[in-house]
Structure 1
Amino acid sequence: MDAVWIVLDSLSFEATRSGRDGPDPMPRLQTLAEEHAVTFERAYAPGPASPSSHAAFLTGEYPSVAGMHDAHPYFDGRVPTIADRLDGTHRSHIVSVNPFLFAGLDESFDVSKDLAARDYMVFEGTADPRQFGDQTDLTGLQKFVGFLREGGTPLRNIVNGIRYRIWRRQGNDFIPESIENEAAYQYAGAMNDAVRSAVSSFDPTFVLANYMDVHPPLSASEEAIQRFASDWDDLPVGVRAEDTDEYETGAIEALYRAAAWDLDRQVSELVEELIEDDTFVIVTADHGPRFGRGEYLTERRLHVPLFVFAPDEAARTVEHTVSLRSLPRTTMTALTGSDGEFEGEDLLTVEDDRTVVTEYLHREDGNPGPVSIPDGKESAHRNLLVRRGDSRLRLDDGEETDFDGDPAEREELRAAAEDLIAADGGDGERQTFDRDTEERLEDLGYL
């Protein structure tokens, strides 16, 4: 059986609900879920940004244990990913335009496709001219000869090199023209094609597809804008998250809902096809949206949609608190009958509220982005939000700062936080992003 994780980056739980003051932003996905999915009403992200959340739900470990988080956004492979565990039974694919997925997490996958960064690559599996240039100290003729010899494929390397020079001269940076749909910053069409191509293989396949259509900078089709944002003259189209403070809240929310509606039309079509083919499908988000420079451990940021479309599973709704950290165990159980030695629970058998920990590690307070590139080995600040049912405990650098809920559960939540602090895996060796990747991250508002 094939499995596909569709991660709709920055999609909040509330964005999948029927609108209280306007049209429903994701009606097709809701209809599919009501008919076919196990819908989790209280699913939470293990981290507030892509590095922490992706590392956790690909490994089943907390961000600090996995070694990749928002103060150290690189994965060194210290713990296995689900792609590692499926090696030998499934061919694994990862596809996105999110740079953090290609900072080590992709290395355990059989096929890695960064739609934005590698658009210039004519021949895959050969030397990447941009990567080679960033990693070598050679110059001039020596650099050219070294590139030709890289990997033992000189003719293919030179074709990639020529295509890369053309690609740069055309002014390409973050969004290649080939993945634009009706508007800039919309990727769903190309993402759907990549997923369809991956699952067309005769081999059992696992795909992680991370869509960025509702992650700022935002845009939307004219039809979607007319439906959701026609009352606003000044929409933050193409504006980074932290720069949206200059716009009215209503305009930001209207554009966000318009982008979600566009995404719903594209993704739901693919999900329906996958369901018909008896594919195991998970639709979720790594975190909710952030507009402006506000707090990261908010309900809207952490409460995410989670739909599990599993063959032979009846459609139903689960009200218990659960964590996306359980995705690897759930998927392994469905595909192989084994839990893959992953932490967490099989979500399809959850019968009560689970203790959910969200971890935010950051280098300094007031950092304008949720992610900071480490400079040396200085300690990161750690904010933890632990919840079970309606009880919530907040700790900042080990000190309790807020509690709300059943007093009888307070010590249990504190014990879960202390266990995580004790299990901290520490940072791996310092790594660097190339300048092009940093520019993409700045455009996305992470840096």
Structure 2
Amino acid sequence: MLTEELVELAKRARKAARTLSIASREAKDRALVAIAEALRAQAAEGSPLRAANAEDVEAARAAGLAPALVDRLILDEPRILGIAAAVTQIASFEDPVGEVLGMKQRPNGLSVGQVRIPLGVIAMIYEARPNVTVDSAALCLKSGNAVLLRGGKEAARSNAALGELVRAAVASAGLPADAVQIVPPSDREGIRLLVGLAGKIDLVIPRGGEGLIRFVTEHARVPVIQHYKGVCHLYVDEGADLNMALRLVENGKLSRPGVCNALECLLVHESVALAFLPRVGKLAAQGLEIRGDQATRAVIPSAKPASTEDYGQEFLAPILAIRIVGSLDEALDHIAQYGSNHTEAICTRSYERAQRFSRAVDASCVLVNASTRFNDGGELGLGAEIGISTTKLHAYGPMGLESLTAKKWIVFGEGQVR
């Protein structure tokens, strides 16, 4: 897409954002309810949305896309209904825009506080996940932001169909349809042009492979929220409940191997390795490939040798790296070296070690005796997420409504002068 066309889209988004920033909660919620109803109406097989998605999936399979990417593309009835439910939940949340925070009276009589405001125009750049189109649109609408949605070519038909659905719903609620715009997929040069629109776009959020995110970060002239790879660990502590630990491994690794909160590396305390790892090895019957260090392979002979690159790898496949460690400190050192600030979990019976793990690990979400798969906006009560930030400015972890706002200072006086 030419620079002129992108600039025009951004101008229309900026104009829509001004209207949306002062829209009432009632108007925004009407749009969200209309989106959810339109999704439910198209959930059944044979609908225009399902037909468009089927073409994308068929083309992806014919092109030899990895199974994990194909899985992310699919919009079947349960997934569409799930997306609709998330939109409905977002509509039920309080409107963050206009919330007044920390109002205090100064000694000179001034009342000073802050109020939440929209960020403005957000550009989403993502791959292979058409649900992101709706999740992002819904969160941006509720938080008063306009959004430019640039999905990947592998989901172009699905995203176009979803974009039409969302824009029609927004217009039906009396809000500007240009608050949500689909940017047709193009090559990397098109992305470079989009993220270079300083002064026209307020924030870029890339979601996809590490290569995409690095490209956006290196070329952006506007702020970027980085959602880097999810190298998620589970540490099984000495004395841990091994039945629980096995459930956490099975769910974290095999429920959906191709998502960013899937378990990628298992760290096991040496005192429980002999009792626990053979049970993990039996998950090979479910298609799990294990890559382990020498100590792991002594317990699981079928495991492949793990290379240095396997630790710190986001496999996005039914592959699990395993390492036996001698202490919590060794596990923490491993995570510090190979983690990606995404999701880390511990299985333990020790309150003290659970607290130490929670404090010491630098990740956007730390879980105690729970699956890594819970680091998700919907599961954490946000309704949906626009991304999981693995950097700390200005958000860390799943980004919901509040993460899509800024705060400005407001001051009420009675004629005071300085």
| Structure whose residues are more often helix by fraction | 2
Asked whether the two chains share a fold, i.e. TM above 0.5, the reply is: no
The TM-score, its normalising length taken from structure 1, stands at 0.25
Greater C-alpha radius of gyration = 2
State TM-score, norm by structure 2: 0.27
* Greater relative contact order, per chain length (Cα 8 Å cut-off, separation 6+): 1
